[in-house]
């Protein structure tokens, strides 16, 4: 089947899904049960993917991402049930008014229509993304990585069956079988069919999609995040936050990559911070002043280090003169994901939250909280680092658009 045909089927399915109401939850609950029932088949398909991966010399970390177990299939099913339990994001009355001419205007949330998701090796994304799209009334075209194709096929087949069993078109969920580069490019160019394309994966994938797609895209994921330790910070708190934000899970986008320290507290704070980070063998890369305080053993930070999302036990450190210099550094290097100030000073907290331009701006808390679940969105399809449409964690509501319903009694203009 061509992508155009898949697009046309998705568009057709989306019409039914837009008015599906509670049948969406019925489908999600049935799909959860069906995933558990089909666990054997899914694990068998996954074993084929794993074998192919091992034969191709895939690294252990990658094999781990690819691997499914009974527990992981159970987690997928649980995820579907959680999504079913969330409030329907479609049909919310967002606002409205009666115009002077008597027209009654109501702004109501509606699905986006057809969503495309391009992702890499994790087969659980197939179930997670399909569930969020289904619940938000969007038909979805999934294009996963070739490493996981058999697992994805097995999961998608189960989901499609459950959707159909609930009286909705199976084509609400479609998986692209062709995992060549062409199918990826094809999705990026599927104008007229895709209302949004969301890439989920590494920086390279995201950059390619953002630059090449002709359909509307939501850019997700890259997080070059900072903690700024103010002159009036609680230094123990600052050390705790930095330790948590750097080391609790360095590979994720809401981990920090650079610490900025006010010069007035650098002499006291930097050794405190280093002691904590040494517990996890975090490699520091410092500016000249940082190295004067911590010693020449600290590697010098380059211009490139300020701009790098290490996603590793590496942290760049810079001593700044004041809040202005911290804000300017962040403006120059931030990817607009999550930024934090540690301070007890009211004015500085206000200035930082107002002047720093990022999806989430923190005072005295770890950047690791930038997450759909932690923010109370219930679930998350990704974290947007762009400013159009949605910013920060994207949950169900961020997968909707709206329309204006205008009721009259013959008004003309």
Does residue 364 belong to the site contacting its own copies (CB under 8 A)?
yes
* The residue count for the chain: 413
Instruction: Give dist(CA 225, CA 338) in Å, integer.
Output: 5
Does residue 246 belong to the site contacting its own copies (CB under 8 A)?
no
Using CB under 8 A, which of 85, 103, 346, 347 touches its own copies?
103
| 42 burial level (CB within 10 Å; 0-12, 13-18, 19+) | buried
**Gyration radius (Cα) of the chain, Å:** 24
Copy the structure tokens of residue 319: 């001593």
Q: 3-class DSSP state for residue 180? A: coil
What's the closest the beta carbon of residue 410 comes to its own copies, in angstroms?
A: 4
Vertex 80 angle, CA 77 and 85, to 5°: 130
What's the closest the beta carbon of residue 248 comes to its own copies, in angstroms?
A: 6
Using CB under 8 A, which of 309, 369, 379, 395 touches its own copies?
369
Which helix (H) or strand (E) is 106 found in, with range?
strand 104-111
Instruction: Give dist(CA 42, CA 56) in Å, integer.
Output: 21
Q: List the x/- string, 174-213, binding to its own copies by CB under 8 A.
A: -----------------x---xx-------------xxx-
Does residue 93 belong to the site contacting its own copies (CB under 8 A)?
no
**Nearest-10 crossing angle of helices 39-55, 23-37:** 70
Q: Which stretch binds its own copies (CB under 8 A): 26-34, 95-103, 261-269, 270-278?
A: 95-103
Binding to its own copies, residues 110-139 (CB under 8 A): 110, 112-113
Copy the structure tokens of residue 60: 């252990």
Decide the pairing of beta strands 196-200 and 114-119: parallel
Does residue 375 belong to the site contacting its own copies (CB under 8 A)?
yes
Q: Report the first-to-last Cα separation within the chain, whole angstroms.
A: 47
Instruction: Give dist(CA 208, CA 398) in Å, integer.
Output: 23
Q: List the x/- string, 259-298, binding to its own copies by CB under 8 A.
A: ----------------------------------------
Sign of CA dihedral 211, 213, 218, 221: negative
Vertex 183 angle, CA 180 and 186, to 5°: 150
**What count of other Cβ atoms lies within 10 Å of the Cβ of residue 233?**
25
Q: Which stretch binds its own copies (CB under 8 A): 66-74, 106-114, 140-148, 275-283?
A: 106-114
C-alpha closest to that of 263 among 285, 239, 292: 292
What's the closest the beta carbon of residue 233 comes to its own copies, in angstroms?
A: 11
Binding to its own copies, residues 332-361 (CB under 8 A): 349, 353-355, 357-361
C-alpha closest to that of 63 among 167, 170, 137, 145: 145
Residues near its own copies (CB under 8 A), total: 68
What's the closest the beta carbon of residue 84 comes to its own copies, in angstroms?
A: 22
What's the closest the beta carbon of residue 156 comes to its own copies, in angstroms?
A: 25
What's the closest the beta carbon of residue 340 comes to its own copies, in angstroms?
A: 9
Does residue 54 belong to the site contacting its own copies (CB under 8 A)?
no
Using CB under 8 A, which of 99, 181, 275, 347 touches its own copies?
99
Q: List the x/- string, 221-240, binding to its own copies by CB under 8 A.
A: -------------x--x--x
Does residue 18 belong to the site contacting its own copies (CB under 8 A)?
yes
Binding site for its own copies (CB under 8 A): 15, 18-19, 97, 99, 103, 105, 110, 112-113, 191, 195-196, 210-212, 214, 216-218, 234, 237, 240-241, 243-245, 248, 331, 349, 353-355, 357-366, 368-370, 374-376, 386-389, 391-392, 401-413
């Amino acid at each position: 089947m061509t992508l155009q045909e898949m697009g046309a089927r998705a568009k057709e399915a989306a019409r039914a899904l837009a008015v599906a109401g509670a049948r969406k939850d019925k489908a999600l609950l049935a799909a959860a049960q069906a995933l558990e029932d089909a666990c054997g088949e899914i694990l068998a398909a996954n074993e084929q993917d794993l074998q192919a991966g091992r034969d191709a010399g895939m690294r252990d970390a990658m094999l781990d991402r690819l691997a499914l177990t009974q527990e992981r299939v159970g987690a997928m099913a649980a995820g579907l049930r959680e999504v079913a339990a969330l409030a329907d994001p479609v049909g919310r009355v967002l606002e409205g008014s009666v115009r002077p001419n008597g027209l009654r205007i109501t702004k109501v949330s509606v699905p986006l229509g057809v969503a495309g998701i391009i992702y890499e090796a994790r087969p659980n994304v197939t179930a997670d993304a399909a569930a969020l799209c289904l619940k938000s009334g969007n038909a979805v075209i999934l294009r996963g990585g070739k490493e996981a194709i058999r697992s994805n096929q097995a999961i998608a087949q189960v989901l499609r069956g459950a959707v159909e069993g609930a009286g909705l078109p199976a084509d609400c969920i479609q998986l692209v079988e062709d995992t060549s580069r062409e199918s990826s490019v094809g999705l990026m160019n599927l104008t007229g069919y895709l209302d949004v394309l969301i890439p989920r994966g590494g920086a390279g994938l995201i950059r390619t999609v953002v630059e090449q797609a002709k359909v509307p895209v939501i850019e997700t994921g890259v997080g070059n995040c900072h903690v700024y330790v103010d002159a009036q910070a609680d230094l123990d708190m600052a050390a705790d936050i930095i330790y948590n934000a750097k080391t609790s899970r360095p590979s994720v986008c809401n981990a920090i990559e650079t610490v900025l320290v006010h010069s007035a507290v650098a002499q006291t704070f930097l050794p405190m911070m280093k002691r904590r980070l040494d517990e996890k063998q975090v490699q520091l890369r410092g500016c000249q002043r940082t190295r004067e305080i911590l010693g020449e053993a600290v590697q010098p930070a380059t211009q490139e280090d300020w701009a790098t999302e290490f996603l590793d036990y590496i942290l760049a450190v810079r001593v700044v003169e004041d809040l202005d210099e911290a804000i300017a550094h962040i403006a120059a290097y931030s990817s607009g994901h999550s930024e934090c100030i540690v301070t007890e000073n009211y004015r500085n907290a206000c200035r930082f939250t107002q002047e720093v331009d990022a999806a989430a701006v923190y005072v005295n808390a770890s950047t690791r909280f930038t997450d759909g679940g932690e923010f109370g969105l219930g679930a998350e399809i990704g974290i947007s680092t762009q400013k159009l449409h949605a910013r920060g964690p994207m949950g169900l509501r961020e997968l909707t658009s709206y329309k204006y319903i205008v009721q009259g009694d013959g008004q003309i203009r």
